[in-house]
Copies of this chain bind each other. A is one copy, B any other.
Amino acid sequence: MDRSNDTDLTRIFDTIEYPEAYRVTYLANAIVFPAYGEIKRDFGLVRAEYILLACLSHFDVLTAQEVARISRRPRNTISRAVHRMLNESYLERSPDPADGRQSKLKITPKGRALHDEISGYLSRRQDEVLAALNAEERATLTALLKKAALHTAKLDD
């Protein structure tokens, strides 16, 4: 196709009123959408479900509420994901003896194995998207992202 006459769709990166927010969101979408599509196709998981897996892979035990806070998703979404993942025995739940409202969630070996497969999809896509950066640039980006993320976590306590 002749694209010589096409609009340059990347101009908006510079003209948008909120450049950092736009670029961050653009990159997040560029990573998550394709990976999410593949994960759904290959494993039948929806987003809240693999997020649940990811959280439980990195903490020994969490409540549903904590998963919701980490992932910034509504509690009911997480609640549904918990039921489906319990059903497939990707995780297990035990009542908290100290607080009758909440339950403790733990990932099972089967769940961990699934997470390991899934995280490969996300790592691969991450590396594709960041391929334009050399090692030093990437390290700088990673450090700045962490600084901002830690601040943001405190901000929204």
Contact = CB atoms under 8 A, between A and B. Distances in A.
Interface string A143-155: 0111111111101
Nearest to A9: B70
A126 B20 contact: yes
A86 to B, nearest CB: 21
Contacts of A75: none
Contacts of A88: none
Contact of A29 (B20, B72, B138, B147): B72
A21 interface: yes
* Secondary structure dominating the interface of A: helix
A142 B22 CA distance: 10
A53 to B, nearest CB: 12
Interface stretch (A54-62, A76-84, A89-97): A54-62
A15 B58 contact: yes
Interface of A: 7, 9-21, 23-33, 54-55, 58-59, 62, 66, 69-70, 72, 119, 122-123, 125-126, 128-133, 137-138, 140-142, 144-153, 155-156
B20 A145 contact: yes
A142 B58 contact: no
A68 B10 CA distance: 13
B132 A27 contact: no
